[in-house]
Amino acid sequence: MIDLTNKKILFVICGGISAYKSLELIRLFRKDKAEIKTILTENAKKFVTPLSITSLSQGKVYDDLFSIENEIEMDHISLSRWADVIVVAPATANTISKLSQGLAQDLASTVILASNKQVFFAPAMNVRMWEHKSIQNNLKTLKKYGYKSIGPEIGDMACGEYGKGKMSSPVKIYNEVHNFLTNQTKNNKIKALVTAGPTNEYIDPVRYITNKSSGLQGYEIAKSLFKRGFDTTLISGPTNINVSEGINLIKVETSEEMFKATQQNLPVDVAIFAAAVSDFKLTKKHDKKIKKQENFTINLEKNIDILNYVSNHNSKRPKLVIGFAAETENIEKNAIEKLTNKNCDWIIANDVSKKESGFNSEFNEVVIHYKDNKLKKEKLFLKKKSEISEEIVDRVVAQIN
């Protein structure tokens, strides 16, 4: 195993009989030289002690949201930013339910909700609790937010019952988190560029041509790349979306500005063009507001095709070029034509005529078409755009690494 020197892990230990397993988990990561801090919930202290954790982790243990000492040394926001990854083990039904509802009732829930890092959960609870619809719905909600679940397993429980709900072994949790951090380290050297949002093409100082793109899918892709460790630049048209701290955000308005910003940020290893760039611009922009008149004609000309420019660049072509095809008809035919004509590696096609997905929606449904095998396609069924982004980036990481 690659050691984890300079990697920072925040453990959150909740109140359950499986809490003792977290001591072994901490020992495994300390063996790999990871830096560890720990939050103990109030109930967790009934199963493990701060002293036992400190002796294994050689790091500070936090347990009180309103501790003056903690807030002076490192407030809850800083603690959430300090970590490269957060591991909640065991994750109890209570903690899962609180977080799914956005309740920040103690230090653990406050830090997790304030974090922009990857969160792993290792659920542990009675089989009947695990099977309860409310718990399953809460877990689905957390997965939509980008949290990852490890386990639980089927087995004998402390309560004497048998079934699913047993916390995964420390070795299994260790392997999954270790792989994530290892890939994150590899990805630190990989530059990624994402475009997002619409562009505005001005007719006069107050009027412009644009489209319905919200930019959300591109922002979520940039966020997913950043969480995996990529050196991420996001070039965005006009949106009202907040960007994750650590992403290099470049705001533009017109397609020409987006093109110039893209040029200036090459070369990169991965380029994902999720922006809905206007195909046309005014042949001549009017310097003053055009007054109302009976008839008015505007003349349009083609904008430069940013995707085509980058994917056919001789010296600065990224290793992986991904384009989006927002279509309303003949989705597959148009996507494959775009894939071929623009020489990109993948085309991600979606039907923007659907009301439940695409433009101005939190949801999307896409099909990925691959250049190296035009017969191969993968459909990512209707999900939140944050989930679609995670699945896309899973595939990017697999191909790059």
- Asked if the structure places residue 260 within a domain, the reply is yes
User: Do 289 and 324 sit in the same domain of this protein?
Assistant: yes
- Is the entire prediction scored with pTM above 0.85? no
User: Do 209 and 330 sit in the same domain of this protein?
Assistant: yes
Residue with tokens 């003053």: 288
Q: What is the pLDDT of residue 70?
A: 56
Query: Taking the CB of residue 315, how many other CB atoms lie within 10 A of it?
Result: 6
In the three-class reduction of DSSP (H, G, I as helix; E, B as strand; rest coil), residue 123 is classed as strand
User: Do 221 and 368 sit in the same domain of this protein?
Assistant: yes
Of 186, 205, 230, which one is at a domain's C-terminal end?
186
Q: What is the pLDDT of residue 23?
A: 95
- 125: Cβ–Cβ under 8 A, 6 or more apart, which residues? 16, 92, 93, 135, 152, 165
| Integer angstrom CA distances of residue 74 from 9, 84, 197 | 15, 16, 36
Q: Give the pLDDT band (50/70/90) at residue 248.
A: very high
Q: What is the pLDDT of residue 74?
A: 54
pLDDT > 90 in the chain, percent: 69
Q: Which residue has the higher pLDDT, 379 or 157?
A: 379
Minimum mean pLDDT among 36-40, 154-158, 207-211, 250-254: which range? 154-158
Q: What is the pLDDT of residue 162?
A: 86
- Asked if the structure places residue 3 within a domain, the reply is no
For 150-160, how does the pLDDT look when each residue is reduced to its tens digit (9 = 90+)? 999 998 877 77
- Asked if the structure places residue 1 within a domain, the reply is no
| Integer angstrom CA distances of residue 400 from 118, 135, 230, 283, 393 | 20, 36, 11, 41, 10
The catalytic residue among 159, 171, 290, 304 is: 159
Q: Does 196 have pLDDT greater than 80?
A: yes
Q: What is the DSSP string of 216-257?
A: HHHHHHHHHHHHTT-EEEEEE-S--PPPPTTSEEEE--SHHH
For residues 282-310, give the mean pLDDT: 88
Residue 105 phi/psi, 5-degree rounding, is -105, -10
Nearest to 209 by CA among 279, 111, 313, 140: 279
User: Do 39 and 164 sit in the same domain of this protein?
Assistant: yes
Parent domain of 131: 8-186
120 vs 83: CA distance, rounded Å:
12
Q: Does 42 have pLDDT greater than 60?
A: yes
Q: Does 39 have pLDDT greater than 80?
A: yes
Which value, in Å, is the radius of gyration of the alpha carbons in the chain?
24
**Is 344 in the active site?**
no
User: Do 293 and 387 sit in the same domain of this protein?
Assistant: yes
Of 140, 169, 186, which one is at a domain's C-terminal end?
186
For residues 190-218, give the mean pLDDT: 93
In the three-class reduction of DSSP (H, G, I as helix; E, B as strand; rest coil), residue 293 is classed as coil
List the structure tokens of 366: 């896409």
For residues 36-55, give the mean pLDDT: 93
For residues 355-373, give the mean pLDDT: 87
User: Do 93 and 16 sit in the same domain of this protein?
Assistant: yes
Tell me the residue type at 76: H
Q: What is the pLDDT of residue 104?
A: 87
- Asked if the structure places residue 70 within a domain, the reply is yes
Total number of domains constituting the chain: 2
User: Do 134 and 231 sit in the same domain of this protein?
Assistant: no
Query: What is the domain-level CATH number for residue 113?
Result: 3.40.50.1950
Of 161, 186, 211, which one is at a domain's C-terminal end?
186
Q: Give the pLDDT band (50/70/90) at residue 369.
A: very high
In the three-class reduction of DSSP (H, G, I as helix; E, B as strand; rest coil), residue 116 is classed as coil
For residues 305-309, give the mean pLDDT: 94
pLDDT > 70 in the chain, percent: 96
Query: What is the domain-level CATH number for residue 232?
Result: 3.40.50.10300
Q: Give the pLDDT band (50/70/90) at residue 33.
A: very high
Q: What is the pLDDT of residue 401?
A: 76
Residue 162 phi/psi, 5-degree rounding, is -130, 135
User: Do 248 and 338 sit in the same domain of this protein?
Assistant: yes
Q: Give the pLDDT band (50/70/90) at residue 53.
A: very high
Q: Does 2 have pLDDT greater than 80?
A: no
| Integer angstrom CA distances of residue 108 from 25, 88, 103 | 18, 9, 11
